[in-house]
Structure 1
């Protein structure tokens, strides 16, 4: 399954089960009910509690330093374990961040990880698009 594994990112509130196996990448679990079960916890991707109040620059530096220290092989092993447990070759790495907010608050560790992983492995980690509801019918439809 490791060769076929595909990674995506999204946020807890936007994920839908048909997108793949949902994987937690956050220090804490969501405090709101999820309409799906998490397939696993990618603990190597989660920031520390201390990082949560950092500005983007120091956070990015520390987070990327942590990823480098852990390395691609250990992270790939963790992904393979989660994928095997979930029985799915599509993992969706989830966190709380809403990237649709305007700068400077639209950065997130899931996208920092995605860029780092793409640089290290040459495998793209796309952000799943926001689900768009079809417009309601109008009187003229």
Structure 2
């Protein structure tokens, strides 16, 4: 199964099948049709409402993923891939990483990709713009 992540705003149809992973639908027009919703990796509204710092958010989100289970999550994603002719699934959310301060350049899709790698050994590339990295220090 081929997975990638991106934002709704940066997604382009040649990237694959656009899959919603957000608690809400985009409130802006999309230039493409969503191909499904990965409900088991979508953070709960309660988690989002807590406005936690990254480490606490990641801990709580990972616990949610573990409770839902890798087997169920994998099965849901396989089903979405099958309904989309085996196309790459592009897991979408709102946060443009290049428009955030480097310390704040995270979202649930990044934490999901790390969790997935730990669970399956499979990397999930980010297709959206990444934050600019500061130049290396000369001293």
TM-score (norm 2): 0.86
Q: Tell me the residue number matched to 2:23.
A: 27
C-alpha separation in 1, matches of 2:58 and 2:92: 18
Q: Secondary structure at the match of 1:104?
A: helix
Aligned length: 126
Q: Deviations over 1:8-55 (max 9, x none)?
A: 000000000000000000000001010001110001111111222222
Q: Deviations over 1:114-135 (max 9, x none)?
A: 00001110111010143xxxxx
- Structure 1 runs (4+) greater than 3 angstroms displaced: none
Q: Tell me the residue number matched to 2:111.
A: 112
Q: Tell me the residue number matched to 1:91.
A: 89
Deviation at 1:57, TM superposition (A): 2.1
Contact 1:45 1:67 in 2 (8 A): yes
Contact 1:97 1:108 in 2 (8 A): yes
Q: Which of residues 7, 10, 18 is equivalent to 2:6?
A: 10
Q: Which runs of 5+ in 2 are unaligned?
A: 130-139
Query: For 1:34-49, what aligned pairs fall within 5 Å after superposition?
Result: 34-49=30-45
C-alpha separation in 1, matches of 2:117 and 2:22: 20
Q: Name the structure with the higher helix share.
A: 2
Report the RMSD for the aligned CA atoms in angstroms.
1.1
Deviation at 1:98, TM superposition (A): 1.1
Larger CA Rg, structure 1 vs 2: 1
Contact 1:20 1:88 in 2 (8 A): no
Q: Which runs of 5+ in 1 are unaligned?
A: 131-141
Q: Which of residues 69, 73, 76 is equivalent to 1:78?
A: 76
